[in-house]
Structure 1
Amino acid sequence: MSPGSERSQGLMSTLHHYPLCPHSRFARLALAELGVEVDLVEERPWERRDEFLALDPAGQTPVLVAEGGLAVPGASVIAEWLDETVGAGAGERRLMPDDPRARVEVRRLVAWFSGKFWDEVTGYLVNEKIYKRFVPPASGGGPPDMASIRAARANVRYHLRYIGFLAQRRNFLAGDALTYADLAAAAHISCVDYLGDAPWGEDEAAKTWYARVKSRPSFRALLADKIPGMAPADSYADLDF
């Protein structure tokens, strides 16, 4: 699928994303949960298109181009911008709590999954299994490094145990209600699940939590995603996995 091929007409905001980028998935889930419609444009970040770099010189997905042309780069910045612009009017759908202490916990967990989980799990798996398939060898492409994949498979186990630890003590990861913390975690887990590297026997509480989030309407578009030449794991779109 070429960049821009997902564009539809009549939507004023545009999200530049890559289907198996967990940061992009976090942004897509947040937008869907808040009922914000966007025009999806698939971006291949390794191509470093001039038009995309003009939006964000870092050249990383996602980037939300809001009505009026404001470029909002990065999933965490998009989440904060959404809370500032539509969160107050979202009622029970708001993804940040009102209490400042509770907001700290949401931000802590978003940073955990967007940073630590990415550095230790999804960054390895997505780069080695997906991105390197499309990047020229001169730019770092080629066969996957199995040592990196083994490291990710080992690391994901303790992350699932941590998710299970949180899920056993709270209704959702950061507290009583669904927040950005759940969406960030689920976005990264969904990539691991797509690639068949989620050891669901590791922690039953983590699996139960993910099944709840995976069953939400906001997840349907993600479960329909397909990467050319790489089918998802059998359990990926199964809500009763």
Structure 2
Amino acid sequence: MTVAAVSKSAVLLRAFAPTTDVLSTRALAARTGIPRSTVHVLATTLAAEGLLETVPGRGWRLGPLLVGLAGQIIERTGLVAAVEGALGGLRRVPGQEVHVGQLVGGWTVYLHREAGHVRPPMDNRVGLRAPAWRGGCGKAALARLPADEIDERIARLCRDEDLAAPEHAALHDELAAVRRTGYVVSSTFQAGRTSVAAAVVDADGRPVGGLSVAGPSPLFSRAAVARAAEDVVEAAVRAGRQLAT
């Protein structure tokens, strides 16, 4: 496969957004600007290697090989192992959930969830990726990066995914507040839901991701936010210590 073909294959894989499970050859061509005939050849090759798979009558979706490849990256960071044993007691109120998200470029990828009995549940299902500036786990992690690196990660994601960039000054003001307090209270990921999140950092002080307590906004009175903030910060510190070992 030529360098150009590899590049185009990467463009095809990136076309599958978090809310887009299946794309036809026509849809892939429209999203990527790659001719339909080329899309078909590349997609067929990627499917033969397990990077895509066919959905009869509908098109293509991401293939099973990506699960194993992603699993190696997740295991390498150690975030899931680090939070084991660090999350006990975080859900103090029925209906609250606990989320763990890994920072990957400008994305948050949700790796763990402990859900309460509220219906409907939150959108933070395991495996979901979302722009890091939209949710509590991502904001907490971004706040531990230098400002120029934050801007670079956001710019790259928005360019690659054709997303509108967040309002620069407002985001940096919010992240500055996160640095001062050590946690973030966010209600921007899902309407009617609030999360209280803190960053998990490695031995070098670099953010690996974040963990949060979240749920319906009425559950988060001022006292509940203060209690949740204390809990998530303590849990994030414990997870960071585990990462260091």
Q: Same fold, TM exceeding 0.5?
A: no
In our comparison, the structure showing a higher alpha carbon Rg is: 2
TM-score, normalisation: structure 2: 0.28
Q: Which has the higher strand share?
A: 2
Decide which structure has greater helix share.
Answer: 1
Structure with more relative contact order (C-alpha pairs < 8 Å, separation 6 or more) = 1
